[in-house]
Each structure stands twice: as structure tokens, then as C-alpha cells.
Amino acid sequence: MPYVGICLACFGYCYWSLICLSESGRRYQIVFLVASGRARNIGDLRTVYSSAIVVQQRLLRLEQWAEVIRTDGRVVCAGGPLFRVSQMVYLWARLLRFQWF
């Protein structure tokens, strides 16, 4: 029974992380940029939504959530809630005997 519980918890976490947060978040951002007029064509989207901007936005968000700290030009893990959740997922994988690369 604990095995089933761990599997269900892992499935719920994967659904939330992979589907709800990553894919829909990008889609909403692109739709917002187009609707607001900040991006009228593909070139505008590439300029406004470049990889450097995405990384900066994510780092700012991670700093706000106390997940990372920037010091002396370096980014350091602060051991926040998301880090603890990732440790739990790692533990689940180890309990279920998943192989890590």
C-alpha cells in the first residue's frame, strides 16, 4: 500500500510540475505578449521572449521564493521549499528503485 501511495504522489507532482507549471505558463506568457501588442510577429516574440530574458525572469522568481541567492555574480541554492520537494522526489525515485543518469 505505501508503494501505491508513493506512486500516486509522484504522479500528482509530475502532473503539476510538468503540465500545469511549464507548458501552460509559457503559452499564457506568449498569449499575453501578443494580446498586449508587445509582440506582433515571430521576430518580436524572439526579442521580447528570448532565452536570456526567460532565465532572468526565472532567477528573479526563484529569488523571490527564497530558492536561490545571488552573491558576487554567482547563483547559490538557498534550500527553499522547492529544493526540499525535489529532494523528496529524489527519495521517492530511490525507494521505487528508479535509475539516475
Residue spans of the domains in the chain: they are: 2-95
Distances (CA, A) of 49 to 22, 37, 58: 15, 13, 12
pLDDT for 96:
83
**Rounded distance, CA 37 to CA 96, Å?**
48
Q: What pLDDT score was predicted for residue 74?
A: 93
pLDDT tens profile 39-72: 888 888 888 777 888 788 888 888 988 899 999 9
Q: Which three cell numbers stand for residue 88?
A: 523528496
Q: Which residue has the higher pLDDT, 8 or 22?
A: 8
Residue 19 has pLDDT above 90, yes or no: no
| Secondary structure letter of residue 97 according to DSSP | T
